[in-house]
Amino acid sequence: MILAIDTSLGTAVAVVDDDGVVRAEAASENPLGHAEVIGDLLLRALSDAAGPIGSPVPGHADPSSVTYVAAGMGPGPFTGLRVGIAAARTFAQGRGIPVIPIVSHDAIALQVLLADALSGVETERFAVVTDARRREFAYSVYDGLDDDGLPIRTEGPALTPRDDVDAVLAGLGARRHDASAVPATMLGLAAARALAAGRTIGPDDALYLRSPDVTMPTGPKRVTAPAPSGDRS
């Protein structure tokens, strides 16, 4: 089983079989409070997932049944995104299992592409657009699915001012698809397909698209500077 965790927008957790069957999911759309809800959502998803024969609690999954952890790597705000990545890495380290990094926009794109395929709609080039705050949007452009059933990302993730996003996407020939949540089920499915294909499709590090607000000091603080010679105060 694959445990999928994403906190790039809200907080989303899912348990997915390696063949893509969804066993359980739990989510909070609140863009804040990731640290406060992630533990309860993990417990709920693992409790709701139908477990294999031999689970300690019949009919429920045991953490030892999880063989991979899929982590949404963003793009997303620093504070929120690191909560999910830390949870994924901590769970994986405790179990001694691998972490599969997935670009969070790819999970949204996979949901769009599968919905179009089920409805018989031919998907045109589109862009996943998410709120990056500070009057900016994050976007990634997609051109369908590849032979492994994974989204083909041709641009991004990248940032653009909110007022410029439509012009940017028009220049790329992509229709706009706004998203306010990342489906953890699709994150898990993308991880399952990447595993089946023997591919790595996400970065090892979080996708922070802007520099952090905190910068290293360029010199000693005034209160820590040496006192002038002869100054005994």
Sheet of 2-6, strand order: 22-28, 11-16, 2-6, 68-72, 99-102
pLDDT surpassing 60 at residue 227: no
Could you tell me which residue, 193 or 79, shows the higher pLDDT? 193
Q: Is it true that the peptide bond before 98 is cis, omega within 30 degrees of 0? A: no
- Whole-prediction pTM value? 0.86
pLDDT at 217 over 80: no
In the prediction, which pLDDT does 157 show? 97
Q: What is the CATH T-level fold of the domain 2-197, as seen in this structure?
A: Nucleotidyltransferase; domain 5 (3.30.420)
* Domain boundaries defined on the chain: 2-197
pLDDT 10s digits, 88-114:
999 999 999 999 999 999 999 999 999
Give the tokens for residue 203. 């970065």
Inter-residue contact 110 to 189 (CB < 8 Å): yes
Work out the average pLDDT over 167-187.
97
Percent over 90 (pLDDT), the chain: 73
